[in-house]
Structure 1
Amino acid sequence: MAWGISPRKIITIPLGDYSPDYYLTLLYHAFKNLGWRIGYFNRDGIIGYTQISWESYAEEVSARIIGNDIVIKSECVGYQFFFTDYGKNAKNLELLVNGEIEYVEYHLQDSLHETTQQLIDSIPDNQFINLEDPPMGYKEKLRTFLSAFTPAPKYFITPLLVIINIVAFFLTHVIIIALFVASIFNATRHNGNHFEVHDLKETFENLYLSVGFSSRNPVLHGQVWRLVTSIFSHFSLLHLGGNMIVLIYIGSLIESKLGRWNYLILYLLTGICASITSVIWHDHGVAAGASGAIFGLFGILLALLSTKFYEASARRALLISTVIFVAYSIIPIGKEVDHAAHFGGLISGYLFGLLAYSGLKNRKQTIVVGLASIATLAYTACCLAFAPVYQLRDLKELTHHTQKLSNSLQQNFYGNYNMSHDSVMYLLNTKALPEIDTLKDIAPKLNKLTLPKKQKQVAVIKSKLILEECKLYTLLYKEYRDRDPVKYRPEINIATQNINDLRVEWTKTGDDPDLDDDDN
């Protein structure tokens, strides 16, 4: 089996006294007999694509005349999970060299000269592709580990992006670790060597934000630069490694086709579109990663494959392999996956890819990049202008304050059995009644918060619940003050029933009224 980002199998056959034209003729007819689609044929070599099957979604088989040798290669067109070809390329070469060529040679032995001449005469003057600019771009030259990280004339921006992402990952995580250690030290120093576990998630979110990760409210409050910095930020080595492997794969395919600077600009633009889509889609949380921009590159490739940019056989093989990869990569499964960014990158990439094709065809690439930039700015501006800024932190703070007041009121009214009547009245007058007034002030504040649909529904219920609890405690106060267990009891029962009904309604929203908000 062959391994690598682009698994391949290569064999070199010395021609000896054998004519290169004769051998290429044998290869041409062998390709035809095997049902492989020929995308290029000339006196310097041949390129073909295997049939699509359950075992394979096409390999590119090429042969090149180099000196007095012919180098035959079978290489996977699409991205391979686990970086292995599962023996497909070796099987292709075995079928070709040790089977079909011998069969063709046997049947053409008496007419090989005439057949070769007819084939050479039929070669068109201009072909869609050539061996100097193969359909798979620089991908076929990624033969060693270091070659993926080494800038080359037709593979310049991609390795630089990979290196920048790797450096950014280690720098940001050194800063995060340093700040985290400092936060633990400060927390334990101020809280008596006590660091609460539920503070951990919020602490890390703040740390991620401090090094450039993206989140809804900071971006909508004007920190638009996060749309770019988050493209170069990653949560873990696994997150970084997975994205960089796919970036190397897709970058090696299309950077040479777009040109290095167009490629870089379109990468950043699709990344911004992916980031702002994530911002407006998610209510809260922190987002980061190059995957949105990478899906943008796949969108560009899909757009080019939907045109006549590639030769028909190469287009078919690349399209099928790309659709398969995108399909199983973009399926919205997994809570920690930013599907909104993936879709935003893919859609914007496809649109920009159509523009890029127009620019490449008409040699007006500068105009294309300008139009793509304007479109990105317009989309981002609309999102920033019309996306609501959710007050989730305010909701959390008010809910936490409400919980503390409710607990205190419950203790004041139900936990003072051993105190005298006068002592209880003093406590209720000096502490409980002011807390009731404070709770009453919180209720309208909850109602006015700008929140997502579910949280808004919960906030409205909380507001009603607060007012009913205030009503209940006020009635309990009057009952205790007047020492009359009968007069206020019907109203108390009604208020209690209203509270129970509201708690049932709250539960139906999917939230749990019995859990403190900090524990959710």
Structure 2
Amino acid sequence: MTREERVKFCRVCDKSKFDTKQGIVCGLTNAKADFEEECPDFTGDNEEVYVYQAPKEKKGLLVEKTIEFFELLTPKPGFFMSPIIIIFCVLVFVSMVLSGVHLIDPSVENLVAWGANFTTLTFQGQYWRLLSNCFLHIGLIHLLFNMYALLYIGLLLEPIIGKWKLGFAFILTGIGGSLLSLAWHDMIVSAGASGAIFGLYGVYLALLTTNLIDKESKKGILVSILIFVGYNLLFGLKGGIDNAAHIGGLFSGILLGFSFYPSLSNQEAKLKGLLIPGLTFIFILCCGVIILRSPKISVIYERHMSEFVEVEQRALSVYPQYITEVNLDAINKDGIPNWQKCKDIILKLDEMSGFSEEMYQRNALLKRYCDYRIESYKLIAKASEDRNPIFFRQVEAYNQAIGFIIRKLKGEVVADNLMRYKAPEEYKPVRREFFKSTVNAQSPLYIIDGEISEDMMHIDPKNIKEMNVMKGAAAEAVYGSKGKNGVVIITTK
């Protein structure tokens, strides 16, 4: 019997496994099959071996490689769960791209919308993000690297532990990586299967220390796995990579791998062997509860800031488009009180300890922002009752300072003096006697409602409807020598 004929049996035999050096080998002997007519240990469907297959047409090298690749990703005995996880991750990514997410560089907003592990939302009760983020990827390159790593470790590990244990390990170590990521970082948006993949490598590293894997294969595989793990952890130090998820997945995988050993080494005690993986699951679950129930300073801050934004929007909703159209009742009931609530939120945050210096500096700006808003709303209320121009100028000065504070809060570089209120100079009252002393010198001609007047001091500015000025030859042409100093034409209401 030829090697190819023997492999037909091995492919459907439940005891076969994949070896990176030899290919498909017997799980009992760890060697290539060498029977002549019939394998005494064969357990599988003989009919699959003897199904007639028509002679294959010769195909090009590229076509053959493509077919081999897709055959490799087809779920089969001994390699079932790994291709399913790969296919699912690819389908999720394709769905993201078809919905409009960028192929190479997805935005943070899109990742969060699709289920990334976002500190604030996860701590607020969206615990499903601990797992959902394991199936998302931050661009095509990220997906390809992770799926290649998953394919490699799946081919090594799944024939040893089986499909259900591999699926369980992927989920549990993925959650373990997500939990350490939350505990490690103050604020993080994390996505990718790498935490769970590191977990599978951790399981395999644990099994390499046992007698389940033959000594000849151990050394080469151990070196390649250690190189992979070490390189990726060192590469993650560059920044922009969630190394905490990698480490969390790796160590939870090592722990889980040792817990699998009793059931894998003693086939007759499978039920008893499941006790230790169950306890491992409970241990990781308890760690998750402790992490998610512990007060996290960044989450507390974000929670208060969410409340701040909500109250701020209510206060801004009553800001008039034109000061002359102000709703005085809304300003006094919904505007100023809500700005005071915003200030109280910031004062409450200031009383807490543990924030970074940057957060305290941000709080100082927000307090000034609230103070200026309160003062500007009070001035708007005054201006609605008394149309004194100084109130309008003061409101404008406050709004200018507020604008610079907002730019600073957004991360722009702004000088501190620009973010401070500068009171505008008040108009100095001009004495009536001054006009009288100059009226005969260079005073223009005043025409008020069609009648000549010496000056306009007796007119209330609020009663002026329209004012026009004529100068030079045009004024003299109409009004003669009286218009040589210009003419001011006023129409009252």
Partner of 1:250: 153
Partner of 1:340: 244
Using the TM superposition, give the Cα deviation of residue 246 of structure 1 relative to its aligned residue in structure 2, in angstroms.
0.7
Partner of 1:241: 144
Cα distance in 2, alignment partners of residues 220 and 202 from structure 1: 18
Match of 2:82 among 153, 158, 163: 158
Matched, 1:360 2:264: yes
Cα distance in 2, alignment partners of residues 441 and 277 from structure 1: 36
Partner of 1:395: 305
Partner of 1:328: 231
CA deviations 1:75-107 (Å, max 9, x no partner) are xxxxxxxxxxxxxxxxxxxxxxxxxxxxxxxxx
Partner of 1:380: 288
Alpha carbons of structure 1 residues 203 and 229: separation in structure 2 relative to 1, 3 Å? closer
Matched, 1:177 2:85: no
Using the TM superposition, give the Cα deviation of residue 456 of structure 1 relative to its aligned residue in structure 2, in angstroms.
3.9
Q: TM-score, normalised by structure 2?
A: 0.53
Aligned 8 A contact 2:75 2:81 in 1:
yes
Tell me which moved more, 308-317 or 346-355: 308-317
Match of 2:91 among 167, 172, 177: 167
Using the TM superposition, give the Cα deviation of residue 173 of structure 1 relative to its aligned residue in structure 2, in angstroms.
3.7
Alpha carbons of structure 1 residues 275 and 237: separation in structure 2 relative to 1, 3 Å? same
Alignment of structure 1 residues 39-438 onto 2, 5 Å: 130-132=30-32, 144-174=68-98, 176-177=99-100, 203-205=109-111, 207-209=113-115, 213-331=116-234, 332-363=236-267, 364=270, 365-388=273-296, 389-392=299-302, 394-395=304-305, 398=308
Aligned 8 A contact 2:177 2:195 in 1:
yes
Give the residue type in structure 2 aligned to 1:293.
Answer: A
Alpha carbons of structure 1 residues 316 and 242: separation in structure 2 relative to 1, 3 Å? same
Q: TM-score, normalised by structure 1?
A: 0.51
Cα distance in 2, alignment partners of residues 159 and 205 from structure 1: 24
Aligned 8 A contact 2:206 2:254 in 1:
yes
Gaps of 5+ in 1: 1-11, 13-58, 66-126, 134-141, 181-199, 417-422, 482-498, 516-520
Give SS of 2:213's match. coil
Aligned 8 A contact 1:301 1:353 in 2:
yes
Cα distance in 2, alignment partners of residues 259 and 346 from structure 1: 19
Cα distance in 1, alignment partners of residues 135 and 23 from structure 2: 39
Cα distance in 2, alignment partners of residues 277 and 62 from structure 1: 38
Q: Percent identity?
A: 28
Alpha carbons of structure 1 residues 288 and 394: separation in structure 2 relative to 1, 3 Å? same
Give the residue type in structure 2 aligned to 1:345.
Answer: G
Cα distance in 2, alignment partners of residues 229 and 63 from structure 1: 34
Aligned length: 335
Alpha carbons of structure 1 residues 204 and 64: separation in structure 2 relative to 1, 3 Å? closer
Alpha carbons of structure 1 residues 339 and 510: separation in structure 2 relative to 1, 3 Å? farther
CA deviations 1:257-296 (Å, max 9, x no partner) are 1122111111111111112223343444533221111010
Give the residue type in structure 2 aligned to 1:273.
Answer: G
Gaps of 5+ in 2: 4-18, 34-65, 381-385, 387-400, 416-493
Using the TM superposition, give the Cα deviation of residue 248 of structure 1 relative to its aligned residue in structure 2, in angstroms.
0.3
Larger RCO of the pair (alpha carbons < 8 Å, separation 6+): 1
Matched, 1:453 2:355: yes
Cα distance in 2, alignment partners of residues 325 and 202 from structure 1: 28
Partner of 1:19: none
Aligned 8 A contact 2:311 2:338 in 1:
no
Cα distance in 1, alignment partners of residues 312 and 183 from structure 2: 29
CA deviations 1:11-67 (Å, max 9, x no partner) are x9xxxxxxxxxxxxxxxxxxxxxxxxxxxxxxxxxxxxxxxxxxxxxx9866999xx
CA RMSD, 1 decimal: 5.1
Give the residue type in structure 1 aligned to 2:345.
Answer: K
Give the residue type in structure 2 aligned to 1:337.
Answer: I
Q: Which is higher, the Rg of structure 1 or of structure 2? A: 2
Cα distance in 1, alignment partners of residues 345 and 413 from structure 2: 19
Using the TM superposition, give the Cα deviation of residue 384 of structure 1 relative to its aligned residue in structure 2, in angstroms.
2.0
